[in-house]
A and B are shown apart, each in its own frame.
Chain A
Amino acid sequence: MISLVKFENHNAYKGKSRYPYSMSIIDLTTTKKPDSALRLKILGKIGEQKPYNCFNCIRCTSGCPSMKMLELKPHEVVSLAKLGFVEELIASGVAWACATCLKCKERCPQAVAPVDLIFALRNLAVEKEAKVPESFLRSLSAILETGFIQKPQDTVTRKLEKVNREKLDLPRFREPDDKFKAAFFKVLELSQE
């Protein structure tokens, strides 16, 4: 909490024992120093949006469905990224608690878009080979393999009759050709540079 002293001294927080930073990421930030290089990197990833415009009105957090369920606080993510606690944000895994309902992006009076920052954090977590929910990487390998996240699945009717595309008179499903796979692989390599 040493590094957040500036906020504690702010008039709004003076004399109050609790201030809006109470998530586990804080514990991670107590002994760390902000990382300005990573801060620039993460802010560079989100293009047109401007986290520095955030004035902590907490409108994003008040409408966030993941706040109710998983204590995701978008305004906190924005503040910590601005301060340069990017590595800590990644280590805490909060970015994966977002349901991408986009309400924060829609309702922010300052066009900050916390959800864009959350996607940038996820991308950076993958880049830095941090802990990432495996299924996200599986989607990527499925696309490399078949062009889609999955092949056509067998399913059942309400009467438990097994059906597939053919039985339902739907045309055969076509995967993209091998040229796609080669091109997509190149794109993935390119974006790593």
Chain B
Amino acid sequence: MNSLRALTRQLASPEAQQYLALYLIALLFALLASWPTTGSVSNDSWFSLAYTRAAGIGLLGIGFGINYSRAARQEKVLVAAMLGCFALLALPLELAAYAASYPTTPVAWFLALPPLSALAMFAVGLLLGGLLGLVRLRVLAPVIVPAALVGMVAFDVAAGLNILNPFTGAVRVSWYHLATLLSLAALLLLVLLRPSREVGS
């Protein structure tokens, strides 16, 4: 109960509110720009929303990850849960576009991917934050966040597979991408939720 209360407080904080508002506005803008006008035949709005979601969750996840890489574990758990909530709360906007667009991407894929991506990207952010701290280059964090996304796209282009690229993974089922996200999310949960050894000390 305390965890839920803490998460609610986290989501009510001005910082979380600003980022959630920004994410929802980005999705709304994508919806507005891509929704078909009268006379248009096809509705491809979901693809725009899926790409916007991939970018939004990627930036937020990696950004929060780098920023909170030196925070206490409890704080990291709260931020990870907050990102998961961001992904869930934005789903209705995407679901409306999905319903009208009728893409071939399975609905289960598109429902499962956003929260999973949020956790995986947060894990990537934590790893990058740790690395930057190690080489004492945390000042590069604002550049590293978008650069990490670009790097993921470039890696997949070079590999010829969809392993990391969140944009391709957002609209097309890829078992490699799913395996990567699951591994990263599992690693994150393992690290954050493992029993503490310091209890009673």
Task: Check if A and B associate.
Answer: no
B residues sitting closer than 8 Å to A (CB atoms) are none
